[in-house]
Amino acid sequence: MKRPSRSWRSPLDNPASAVLGTIALPLDGLKRKTLDRFFRGIRGDSEVPPPFAYGAGRFSPTGRGERAVPTTALAKACARYFVLIMVDEFRTSQMCHACRRRLQAVAKRSADGTIHEVRGLRRCCSTECKRVSFKDRDHNAALNILRCSREAQRPQYLSRNTEQPGLRNPFFMLRGDSASGISGRATSMLN
């Protein structure tokens, strides 16, 4: 008797795929339970579902070895407990939430002399933000998303049709040997 070709075999013929199939179903159920518990904890005991501003980013990761965030599954889980307001994330992490100006990336020179951007850290160059000039990129984006969800019309500084002037100095260079790097003296790096 002739065996069927490899492409016609059932996935259950392979013991490894059968085991993986039995593991995948409980894991999906655990993920859903975990998300439901998380969003139930945020909502609390309110009878009317409160509004929840959610960034509508649909882009792939930019870093090597990074995975995309499962935004669709999170949005669906969130929509079961809140009134979901999807907000366009355009420029929310690039513009300062306080003074509405463009933020500079922060860079640091490593021991071997190469310059690396400090991930997630931005600096505002305006005099309005002089006291707190360093901003966390994600926190800044969350505040801008909140502003977009509360206002009737998207703020002009976050709209797609606004020309934003380029920065003269694309990086803010940190100097010093401190552990965090921020307490060292900082100077602007010229092109």
Answering whether pTM is above 0.75, one says: no
Examine residue 69 and state whether it is found in any structural domain, yes or no: no
Q: What is the mean pLDDT of residues 46-64?
A: 82
104 has which bridge partners?
A: 123
- Of 15-29, 47-61, 87-101, 102-116, where does mean pLDDT reach its minimum? 15-29
State percent of the chain over pLDDT 70: 69
Q: Considering its fold, how many domains does the chain have in total? A: 1
Could you tell me if residue 65 is inside a domain? Answer: no
Q: What is the dihedral of CA 107, 110, 116, 122, to 10 degrees?
A: -30
Distance CA(11)–CA(98), nearest Å, equals 56
Structure tokens at 188: 């602007």
32 within a domain of the structure (yes/no)? no
Residue 174 lies in a domain: yes
In a domain, 77, yes or no: no
d(CA 31, CA 24): 11
Give the domain extent around 140: 104-188
In the predicted structure, residue 51 carries a pLDDT above the cut 90 = yes
Q: Is residue 128 part of a domain?
A: yes
For 67-115, write each residue's pLDDT tens digit.
777 778 889 999 999 999 999 999 999 999 999 999 999 999 999 999 9
Q: Does 120 map to a domain?
A: yes
133 assigned to some structural domain: yes
Tell me: pLDDT of 181 over 70. Answer: no
The Cα 13–Cα 148 span in angstroms is 53
CA diameter of the chain: 84
pLDDT bin (cut points 50, 70, 90) of residue 117 is very high
Positive or negative: CA dihedral 97, 99, 100, 105: negative
